[in-house]
Amino acid sequence: MNERKAKILALAGKGGVGKTSLASAMVRVLTEEFPGSRVLAIDADPAVGLSTALGVTVTSTLDDIRRAVVASAEDGRPREAIEMLNESRFRIFDAMVETKGFSFLAIGRPENEGCFCSVNAYLKEVVSMLAGDFDFVVIDGEAGVEQIQRRVMEKVSHLILISDQSRKGTHVAETIKDVADELVMYERIGAIINRVTNPELNGFISVKGVDILAFIPADDQQAANDIRGGSIFDLPAGSTVLDGVREALRKIEILS
C-alpha cells in the first residue's frame, strides 16, 4: 500500500499483570495472521522486558539517540545537534531490530535515576512519525498512568487495558481509562483479564465503562517458557495465552 494508516495498539495497566507477555503475544499473532504486513513493537517500559519476550537483542535505544542530540548541543555544537535532529528518522530506523517479520524499538532506560519526561516526550514524537510506515504498532507501556498523563500515547487506535483478577488491577485500569478519556484520542478501548486462576469468579470481575475482551487463564506453558528464557515464538500455536489474545483481537475488530 502507498500510504499506511497504522493500527496502534497501546497496552496499559498495573505492574505485574502480564502486559509484556500479552504485547509479545499480540506481535506474534499479528505476524501470523497478516503475513507480509509491517509490524512494529515498541518497548515503552523502562523495565525493558519486551525484547526478551520477543527474543531480540537490543543494541541501540531511543534514549541513546536522544542523549546524543543533547550531548551535542551541550558541547557547543548546535549545528551538529540540528543536523542530528533532522536525521532522527534515519537514526531511529538504524536503532530498530528487524526479525521474525516485525521491527522492534526500545525506549531505553536513562543512565541516571529520575524522571523519564524527556525520553517520554521523544517517544511521543517517534510514535507519530513512524505510524505511517507500519500497518500495526504494538506499544508495551510502562506500569501505571504516567505515559497516559504525559500524553505519550496521545493518539492511538486501540487502547487495551490489562489487569489480573485483583481489584487493585481493575482499579488501576479504571483510573487509566478515566485519564485517557481526557487526554488520549483513541478509537476503541477494551480490557483483558490476565492470569485467571479461578474462572468461576469471572462474573464478578469488571472494569467500569470498558468491555472485557478476554479472560486468559494462567498459562503453565508460558510460565515454564519464561523460566527457560524462551520467547513467545517458542510457545505452541494452541497455547492459552495465544488463544486468549486472538479472542481479544477479534472482539476489538483487529482480526475478523
CATH number of 245's domain = 3.40.50.300
CA dist., res. 37 & res. 50, Å (int): 20
The answer to whether 180 touches 189, Cβ cutoff 8 Å, is yes
Judged against a pLDDT cut of 60, whether residue 147 lies above it is answered with: no
User: Is residue 181, in this structure, part of any structural domain at all?
Assistant: yes
Judged against a pLDDT cut of 90, whether residue 55 lies above it is answered with: yes
The answer to whether 42 touches 140, Cβ cutoff 8 Å, is yes
Q: How many independent structural domains does the chain possess?
A: 1
What confidence score (pLDDT) does residue 163 get? 97
Instruction: For cell 548546535, name the residue.
Output: 78
User: Is residue 1, in this structure, part of any structural domain at all?
Assistant: no
Angle among Cα 104, 87, 72 to the nearest 5 degrees reads 105
For residue 9, what are the β-bridge partners? 138, 158
Cα of 84 vs its chain's centroid, Å = 26
User: Is residue 256, in this structure, part of any structural domain at all?
Assistant: no
Judged against a pLDDT cut of 70, whether residue 232 lies above it is answered with: yes
User: Is residue 243, in this structure, part of any structural domain at all?
Assistant: yes
Angle among Cα 238, 231, 163 to the nearest 5 degrees reads 70
Q: How many CA atoms lie within 13 A of 107 on its CB side?
A: 29
CA dist., res. 70 & res. 164, Å (int): 40
The answer to whether 226 touches 239, Cβ cutoff 8 Å, is no
The answer to whether 20 touches 166, Cβ cutoff 8 Å, is no
**Arithmetic mean of pLDDT over the chain:** 84
Residue numbers of the domain that contains 159: 7-251
The reply to whether the predicted model has a pTM over 0.85 is yes
Judged against a pLDDT cut of 50, whether residue 100 lies above it is answered with: yes
Phi and psi angles of residue 156, each rounded to the nearest 5 degrees, phi first: -130, 155
Contacts of 181 (CB under 8 A, 6+ apart): none
User: Is residue 2, in this structure, part of any structural domain at all?
Assistant: no
DSSP state of 61: -
Judged against a pLDDT cut of 60, whether residue 113 lies above it is answered with: no
CA dist., res. 170 & res. 252, Å (int): 19
Q: Per this entry, what is the length of the chain?
A: 256
What confidence score (pLDDT) does residue 59 get? 85
Q: Which segment of 54-58, 110-114, 122-126 scores lowest on mean pLDDT?
A: 110-114
C-alpha cell at 156: 492511538
Judged against a pLDDT cut of 80, whether residue 123 lies above it is answered with: no
User: Is residue 209, in this structure, part of any structural domain at all?
Assistant: yes
What confidence score (pLDDT) does residue 131 get? 76
**pLDDT tens-place string over residues 151-202:** 555 678 999 999 999 999 999 999 999 999 988 888 999 999 999 999 999 9
Helix boundaries (H) for 42-195: 50-54, 62-74, 78-86, 88-95, 117-130, 146-149, 167-183
CA dist., res. 127 & res. 50, Å (int): 17
